[in-house]
Amino acid sequence: MCTMKKCLAIVGMGIMGIIGVLVMSKTRHHTGKYEKVGQNIDETLMESKDALDKASAHVQSVFEHMKNRKS
């Protein structure tokens, strides 16, 4: 009976170890995906910021042109 409990304990520890390794490998895989997505978001934000800067400069020049026409 005692050896049966020891055997079950060893098998249980093996299963827990395998589950732990699987969880750690999945976590690393998802972390890499999120870093890649984060980089893409940063690039998109920089492009959006550049486009917004260009648009605001254009709007500013239009307002200056309108102001000069009135004068």
Considering the entire predicted model, what is its pTM? 0.45
Q: What is the pLDDT of residues 46-68, one digit of tens each?
A: 888 888 888 998 888 888 888 88
Closest of 38, 42, 19, 18 to residue 30, by C-alpha: 38
Share of the chain above pLDDT 70, in %: 82
Domain borders along the chain are: 34-71
How far apart, in whole angstroms, are the C-alpha atoms of residue 16 and residue 9? 10
